[in-house]
Amino acid sequence: MDARSVLAECPLFVGLSAAALDALAARAEMLEVPSGHTVVNRGARPESIYIVATGRLCAVLPDNSIAGLIGRLEPVGEIGTLSGEPHMASVHAVRDSVLVRLPGAHLYAVIEQYPEALLAMTQVIIRRLRHNRTLRRSQQQQQSRSFAVVVGSPGADALMVANHLCAALAPMKKVRLLTAESVDADLGEGVCRTPGDSSSVNQRLITYLNQIETENGYLVYVAEAADPWARRSMRQADRILFVVDADSPPMASKMLEQLRECSTRAPIELVVIRADGMDAPAMLTWRERTNARAHYYVRRDNVVDFTSLARQLTERGIGLVLGGGGARGFAHIGLLRALEELQIPVDLVGGSSMGAFFSALVACGKKHGEILDIARRTFVQQNLLNDFLFPTVALIRGRKFLRHLQQVVFGEQQIEALRMPFFCVSTNLTRGGISVHDQGPLALWVATSMAVPGVVPPVVFRGELLCDGAVANSLPTDVMYAMERGPIIASDVSTEGGIAAPGIEGPDPEGLLHMRGGGERPRLFSIMFRTATLTSESGTARRAEHADAYLRMPIEGVGLFDWKKLDEVVERGYRHALERLTPIRDQLCAPEGAQPRS
């Protein structure tokens, strides 16, 4: 591999003549960039174009969000170099990488000699910009191609995890498992433990790994000891999976020390091997020690668990977001029935207000029939909203409803212990935004997400007041999107219209008090809920853009507290979901994850 061959393969220079390529290559140089190294600083004036020969880079915006990952043969800094504008993002090496550096001054000299080169490069850049707008998510799916599966706690079976992950990835693309033993079998005893230096043996190992990556869609590295192979595995990976047993207490270890010292910018995620009936009391501490951004529970040799893990790691996991809307939220149950019948797997869930209640039941492993029974017992067969008090803070205490969630529905479950990832949102009245709850007592945070201000007292947490999530965000697809797990199905049960008093011309300050006729008079709770959620519902259209399948449920004529319409609303939701999801079912579930917009 030399600079000339990399430039010839790079799409940016595909239209250049052989003579122009030779001229560019004359001043190009090969650079070895370690994982974690900064290649470009935001705001700096471009001095060179970089082409990725091997490895992976990451572009980071000023708000620390990821603008994109940059893979083999992709350029960095070409627009800034040609326009003279400063870099808009910082670029870091996610893996140990080899780059071709092309000085900007030399590029200008070549363009003067071969002016047709500028036209060819400009055409490529324009095509890439148009292409990126339409294929951003599908491109992101291609970026997580190499995974380092690392032993985290003593005795944790990382090899078992890696083997099952390979089996789950295989239907998507060709996959290769790399162990220290397999590398040494191909290259010779001890080669895998070669330090990352300039030796010929190290160069041979780099060439070998690059060739294997070129030949396969996915690579899964396994590191079972804290040695140079583990360090290389972590620095070569797009994602690091730190494997621990659920009952293992966090402790200092050489592997944990090596994880911290390798300076990689690859995201770290925790994989917890957890049998049925087993708690994972130390999971949050493990996440803190490893700086893991997420955790996954897997049961030993459980195909379903590893299939879901593979989908989420490759951004093909299906996220379900359920919106708030009181009794209209019963339509979510119909959606769940349709998902089951269509065999569309749900990998993670989240919701707001009533959507938080139903998504929490999904995260607990409940099927739609069980959820329907729970809804009937909770909202139809008993009245849990009648513990009235003198209205200084709210109309009711909300104590009966919370006790029901704690003692009957959810028990003492903690969100972080759920096998399916779950979140709900509440509105932070103190800060004027939302709070995302992805750990802590499940019953309490679901109740908080359903606490309509004025009806139920806000929940006080660390001096701040939290209430119904639908006040600020009735459909939290933005939260789900930020998790980067894959396509999103969103169920919206908000109303386009509002409460009304048909037949009254007015203006009449007491019109509602004397309302007669066929129209149903808006009640106090409905007025308060509508008032509280008006701003949130106006932003639903914007949040719907994050959804790959957006279902606006047919809930016309259903009031916020029309609990008796349970069966009717469920049936409406089922028929609508079946109609909308059937045509795109294969796209949602396809291994290559074609992303529909519906």
Q: What is the pLDDT of residues 343-385, one digit of tens each?
A: 999 999 999 999 999 999 999 999 999 999 999 999 999 988 7
- Collapsed DSSP state (helix, strand, coil) of residue 152: coil
Q: Which CATH class is domain 146-314?
A: alpha beta
Residue 210 has, within 13 A of its CA and on its CB side, a CA count of 19
Query: Nearest 10 degrees: CA dihedral of 396, 402, 408, 410?
Result: 150
Residue 298 has, within 13 A of its CA and on its CB side, a CA count of 32
Which two structure tokens, joined as six digits, stand for 428? Answer: 């932070």
- How does pLDDT run across 203-225, given as a tens digit for each residue? 889 889 988 988 999 999 999 99
Backbone angles phi, psi at 251, to 5 degrees: -150, 160
All structural domains of the chain with their residue ranges: 3-140, 146-314, 319-497+520-589
pLDDT of 422 reads: 98
pLDDT of 538 reads: 56
Which two structure tokens, joined as six digits, stand for 261? Answer: 């010292």
What average pLDDT does range 458-474 have in this prediction?
93
Residue 396 pairs in a beta bridge with 388
Split at pLDDT 50, 70, 90, the class of 183 is very high
What average pLDDT does range 404-421 have in this prediction?
97
Question: Which CATH code, of 2.60.120.10, 3.90.1150.10, 3.40.50.720, 1.10.1740.10, is assigned to 3-140?
Answer: 2.60.120.10
Three-class SS of 228-242 = HHHHHHHHHCCEEEE
Give Dmax over CA atoms of the chain in angstroms: 91
Closest CA to 470 of 485, 487, 455: 455
Q: Between 306 and 79, name the one with better pLDDT.
A: 306
| CA 360 from centre of chain | 18
Least confident of 168-172, 236-240, 320-324, 492-496: 492-496
| Interatomic CA distance for residues 269 and 149, integer angstroms | 10
Split at pLDDT 50, 70, 90, the class of 264 is confident
Decide if 371 contacts 333 (C-beta within 8 A).
yes
pLDDT of 301 reads: 94
Residue 583 has, within 13 A of its CA and on its CB side, a CA count of 7
Least confident of 103-117, 131-145, 456-470: 131-145
Closest CA to 273 of 415, 411, 160, 124: 160
What average pLDDT does range 548-568 have in this prediction?
92
Split at pLDDT 50, 70, 90, the class of 498 is low
What average pLDDT does range 533-562 have in this prediction?
80
Split at pLDDT 50, 70, 90, the class of 598 is very low
Split at pLDDT 50, 70, 90, the class of 174 is very high
> Among residues of the chain, what percentage have pLDDT more than 70?
89
Label residue 80 left, alpha or beta by phi (over 0 means left) and psi (-120 to 50 means alpha): alpha
What average pLDDT does range 159-170 have in this prediction?
97
pLDDT of 528 reads: 64
Question: Which CATH code, of 3.40.309.10, 1.10.10.10, 3.40.1090.10, 3.30.43.10, is assigned to 319-497+520-589?
Answer: 3.40.1090.10
Least confident of 20-24, 171-175, 593-597: 593-597
| Interatomic CA distance for residues 53 and 353, integer angstroms | 49
Decide if 87 contacts 43 (C-beta within 8 A).
yes
pLDDT of 139 reads: 44
Decide if 385 contacts 377 (C-beta within 8 A).
no
Decide if 210 contacts 166 (C-beta within 8 A).
no
Split at pLDDT 50, 70, 90, the class of 596 is very low
Split at pLDDT 50, 70, 90, the class of 64 is confident
Q: Where do the DSSP E strands lie in 451-508?
A: 459-461, 464-467, 488-492
- How does pLDDT run across 68-85, given as a tens digit for each residue? 788 888 889 888 888 888
Decide if 344 contacts 513 (C-beta within 8 A).
no
Backbone angles phi, psi at 160, to 5 degrees: -60, -45
pLDDT of 23 reads: 92
* 536 pLDDT higher than 80: no
Which two structure tokens, joined as six digits, stand for 564? Answer: 């008796």
- Collapsed DSSP state (helix, strand, coil) of residue 367: coil
* 514 pLDDT higher than 90: no
pLDDT of 50 reads: 94
What average pLDDT does range 542-560 have in this prediction?
89
| Interatomic CA distance for residues 338 and 341, integer angstroms | 5
